[in-house]
Structure 1
C-alpha cells in the first residue's frame, strides 16, 4: 500500500518549486537585458553598421559637404520603448536636401519613481540607406541616465550623404529605447506573495455547501 505525503508537505514542495522557477526566469530576463547592448556593440564592430559610440561624420565634414538642392528626401521618425519609458519624436517627418545638416528632437520620460539607465538603438529603412544616413550627434551614442519622473529633450543631428542612390526617396529612422538596470530582484519579490497565496488557497479546506 503506497503512502501519500501529507497535504502540508505537498504545498511546501509546490511553493519551493514555483519560487525557484520564477527566480530563474527573472535572472534570465535581467541577464538578457544587461547583455543586449554589449552584444549589439560587438555586432556593430564586426559589421560596421549602426555604430553606437562614434559619430558617422564630423561637424566640419558635414558643413563642408555640398548640398544637392535638386533632390529632396523625406525622413520619417519612429520611436519604440521597452519598459516604463515615454519616448517619441517631436515631429514625425520632414523633407531635407542631401548634404543639408538637420537637427530633430526626441522626448523621453522616466515614468518610474527611481533613477534608471537606458540605451537607444537606431535602425534604418530601407537597409540600403544605412550607410548614407550620417549622424553627427545622437543620444544613442551613450547610455542615458534619467532621474525619477524626469523628462529630457534629446537632439539628433544628421546629414544625408549626397551619394544616396537616386531611387531612395524616403528614409525611416527608428529608435528603440530600453532600460538597462531593470531590477530582477523586484520580480522575484513580487512573485513570492503570489506563490504564497496559491499555497494558502491550496491548504484551505473547502467548506461543504
Structure 2
C-alpha cells in the first residue's frame, strides 16, 4: 500500500513533460507563423512594384509628383515619360441647356506618360435648382484606349442651386504606347440635365397625348 502514491507521482511527471513539450511546439509554430506574416508584409511593397513594372503599370503617388505652373505633374524618377514626343490635347465642352460650361484652357501640350490637370468650369445661370452630368468622348477614336483619366467628374450627377458655379478637375496621362501618328487628341464633354427636368418633360408629353373629355 505504501508504494501506490509513488506510482501516481511517477505517472504524473511524464504527463507534465509531454504537456510542456506540446505547449513549446505550439508556441514555436505560432512564432514561425508570425515571423512569416511579418516577412510577407515587409516584402509586399517591393513585390507589388516588381509586378507593376513587369506588367507595364505606372505606379504614381501624390508624394512623388512635382507640379509645375501649367497644371502638369511629373512623377519623380518616372522613366515612362517620353520626352521625345509632344501631344496636343484639345478640350471641348458642349452644354445641352441654358447654362455655362467650358474648359479653363482650350489646349495643352503634354509628353506621353506625363500627368496633367485641367479644370472645367460650370455655372447654373437659371433661376431654379438643376441636376446634370457629363459624358466624355475622344477623337480620334484610336486614342481612347490610351487616354487614362486618374480623376474625372464625368458620369457623376451634380446638383447646382440657381447661380451656383463649380470647377472640376480632369487629371489624365497619355499612355506612351499611343501610336506615333497620333499627335493631337480632342477630349470633349457633353453636359446635360437629368432628373426633374426629364420627368417634367415626360409628364408634358403624356398630358398632351391624353384625350380631351367634354
Q: Say whether the fold is shared (TM-score over 0.5).
A: yes
SS in 2 for 1:112: coil
Aligned length: 139
Superposition misfits of 4+ residues, deviation over 6 angstroms: 186-189
Choose the corresponding residue for 1:116, options 107, 130, 137.
130
- Unpaired runs of 5+ residues, structure 1, are 1-56, 193-209
Q: Give the deviation of 1:185 after TM superposition.
A: 3.6
**Correspondence for 2:101 among 61, 69, 87:** 87
Which of 117, 123, 126 is the matching residue for 1:103? 117
Name the SS for the 1:139 alignment partner. Answer: coil
Structure number with higher relative contact order (C-alpha < 8 Å, ≥ 6 residues apart): 1
Give the TM-score normalised by structure 1: 0.59
Q: Do structure 1's residue 137 and structure 2's residue 163 form an aligned pair?
A: no
Give the secondary-structure state (helix, strand or coil) at the position aligned to 1:140. coil
Residues 1:65 and 1:82: Cα distance change in structure 2 (over 3 Å): farther
The one of 175, 178, 186 equivalent to 1:161 is 175
Task: Flag the structure with larger Rg.
Answer: 2
Structure 2 residue corresponding to 1:171, chosen from 162, 167, 185: 185
* TM-score, normalising length: structure 2: 0.57
User: Which stretch of structure 1 is more off in the superposition, 137-146 or 162-171?
Assistant: 137-146
CA distance in 1, matches of 2:80, 2:198: 49
Gaps of 5+ in 2: 1-57, 63-73, 208-214
Note if 1:146 corresponds to 2:164.
no
RMSD of aligned Cα (Å): 2.8
Offset at 1:100? 0.4
